[in-house]
Amino acid sequence: MFFLGVGIVLLLMKYFEIGPVASWSWFIILAPFLAAIIWWEMIVPALGIRQKSGEDVAEQAKKERIRKQLNKR
Q: Using one digit for the tens of pLDDT, what is the confidence trace for 51-70? A: 666 677 888 888 998 888 88
The answer, yes or no, to whether residue 43 has pLDDT greater than 90, is: no
- pTM of the full structure: 0.65
**What number of other Cβ atoms are within 10 A of residue 32's Cβ?**
19
pLDDT at 13: 96
Max mean pLDDT range (29-33, 40-44, 52-56): 29-33
Distances (CA, A) of 22 to 3, 26, 31, 71, 72: 19, 10, 15, 68, 69
